[in-house]
C-alpha cells in the first residue's frame, strides 16, 4: 500500500514537471495531435493484418501508447492555450479589497 502512494505522488510530480517544461505553442499542439493520429492509425492498420502472430501484440500496444500520449499532450497544449485566450479576453475582476 505504501508503494501505491509513492507511485501516485511520483505521477503527480511528473505531471507538474510536464506542466512547467511543456512549451505553449499551438503549432506544437497541432503537430503532436497529428503525429498521435498517424501513429494510432498505423497501429490500427497493423491490427487488421492477418499474417501477424501473437508476438506482434506488444509492439502494437507500444504504438498505441505512444500515439495516445502524443495526442493527449497535443490536446493539453491546445486546451491550455484556449483557456488562456478566454481569460485574456475577459474583463478584469476585483480580486482583493483594499480597506485601509
Compute the average pLDDT of residues 45-73: 74
| Between 47 and 20, residue with greater pLDDT | 20
Q: What gap in Å lies between CA 67 and CA 85, rounded to an integer?
A: 27
Does pTM surpass 0.85?
no
Compute the average pLDDT of residues 71-86: 86
Split at pLDDT 50, 70, 90, the class of 57 is low
Please check the confidence at residue 55 and state whether its pLDDT lies above 90. Answer: no
Q: What gap in Å lies between CA 60 and CA 39, rounded to an integer?
A: 10
Q: Give the DSSP letter of residue 92.
A: P
Amino acid at each position: 500500500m505504501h508503494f501505491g502512494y509513492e507511485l501516485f505522488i511520483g505521477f503527480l510530480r511528473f505531471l507538474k514537471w510536464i506542466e512547467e517544461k511543456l512549451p505553449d505553442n499551438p503549432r506544437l499542439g497541432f503537430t503532436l495531435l497529428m503525429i498521435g493520429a498517424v501513429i494510432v492509425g498505423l497501429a490500427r492498420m497493423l491490427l487488421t493484418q492477418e499474417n501477424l502472430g501473437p508476438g506482434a501484440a506488444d509492439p502494437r500496444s507500444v504504438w498505441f501508447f505512444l500515439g495516445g500520449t502524443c495526442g493527449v499532450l497535443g490536446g493539453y497544449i491546445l486546451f491550455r492555450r484556449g483557456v488562456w485566450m478566454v481569460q485574456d479576453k475577459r474583463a478584469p475582476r476585483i480580486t482583493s479589497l483594499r480597506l485601509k
